Amino acid sequence: MATTAPGTAELAAQLLRHTSGDGVHATPIPRLSLIRAARPGEPLVLLHEPALCVVAQGKKRVHLADEVYVYDASRFLVVSIDLPVTGQVVEASPAAPYLCLRLDLDPGELAQMLLEFGPPPPAAQRPARGLYLSAMTPAMLDAVLRLTRLLDAPEDIAALAPLAVRELTYRLLKSDEGWRLRQIAAGDGQARRIARAIDWLKQHYAEPLRIEEFARELHMSPSSLHHHFKAVTAMSPLQYQKQLRLQEARRLMFSEALDATSAAFRVGYESPSQFSREYSRLFGEPPARDLRRLRETGGLVRPA
């Protein structure tokens, strides 16, 4: 059985005190959110932006393509680049709800700290997965606690929260897996090129993807692009684009009341039947049924 670091009970008490019920709760500390769930949930398919997620109580499972990551208070999750994932709370109860904090990572802040740390070591130059788990250490938990304790002293947040976030970012970069973050933000290596590729796909997901032209823009060969893109995201560029298209179509149908055919054309599909098949494969239900369920359960939420 996994053991949790000292201080976890204090963190759970803080998160419980500052969440009024189930859901995602914004805090006065910029980029910090608290999440609470009294029961295991349904799988949620979403684009996870770069973030640190620390569980104080309960357990979460995240799927990235065919890979499965399970984390609790003994391990924290880091997402270093925008990734389409499926997340699910798998351990929670009214007596012991799932409690998690999410700190969105600031690329500018990471880049600034890299000026102090320098680039990743040569052994870590090969692009690695953009989502990983790492063991919670006493030093890491202490940094998390210093940040969350400020929620009980709102008058200190403006002065001390930036320092607490900086310390937490420092601990993250210095952790055993911190080189993964450093390679995404550093220089002009292959991992940084994949980060640029993802930025382009997010802005042009509805356009046809011509791999040879795409690779040329990134100063990579098509085979190198495919290899390194899959190393970071666990999927090909075309698979990544498909996830972006389907998630955006879902958002359009839910938020802007578009019908399935209109949403499909808006995100780049030419065949409504192909859209419906791929939508059902990703979300588990055809568009109309999925939208009814979303409206009954409160809609789209952020993962953590």
Determine what percent of the chain is predicted with pLDDT higher than 70. Answer: 91
Indicate the pLDDT class of residue 300, thresholds 50, 70 and 90.
low
Question: Does position 67 have pLDDT exceeding 80, yes or no?
Answer: yes
Whats the size of the chain, residue-wise? 304
Domain boundary assignment for the chain = 8-184, 188-304
Indicate the pLDDT class of residue 122, thresholds 50, 70 and 90.
low
Mean pLDDT of the chain: 90
Indicate the pLDDT class of residue 124, thresholds 50, 70 and 90.
low
Q: Angle at the Cα of 259 (from 283 to 255), degrees rounded to 5?
A: 70
Task: Give the least confident one: 61-65, 147-151, 217-221.
Answer: 217-221
Q: Which CATH number fits domain 8-184: 1.10.3720.10, 3.40.50.620, 2.102.10.10, 2.60.120.10?
A: 2.60.120.10
Return the H-helix or E-strand segment holding 180. Answer: helix 179-185
Structure tokens at 146: 């210093």
Tens-place pLDDT, residues 173-199: 888 888 888 877 765 678 888 989 999
Q: In what order do the strands lie in the sheet with 51-57?
A: 23-26, 32-37, 98-104, 51-57, 75-79, 131-135
Mean pLDDT of the 7-21 span:
95
Q: 59 near 72, Cβ under 8 Å?
A: yes
pLDDT of residue 2: 47
Mean pLDDT of the 265-293 span:
94
pLDDT of residue 298: 67
pLDDT of residue 7: 87
Indicate the pLDDT class of residue 200, thresholds 50, 70 and 90.
very high
pLDDT of residue 178: 86
Question: Does position 12 have pLDDT exceeding 70, yes or no?
Answer: yes
Return the H-helix or E-strand segment holding 155. Answer: none
Question: Does position 118 have pLDDT exceeding 80, yes or no?
Answer: no
Mean pLDDT of the 35-56 span:
94
Mean pLDDT of the 157-181 span:
92
Mean pLDDT of the 160-177 span:
92
DSSP 75-132: EEEEE-S-EEEEEEEEE--SSS-EEEEEEE--HHHHHHHHHHH-SPPGGG-S---SEE
Q: Which CATH number fits domain 188-304: 1.20.1250.20, 1.20.120.10, 1.10.10.60, 1.10.760.10?
A: 1.10.10.60
Task: Give the least confident one: 81-90, 103-112, 131-140, 176-185.
Answer: 176-185
Query: What is the bridge-based pairing of β-strands 131-135 and 83-91?
Result: unpaired
pLDDT of residue 211: 94
Tens-place pLDDT, residues 94-116: 999 999 999 999 888 888 888 77
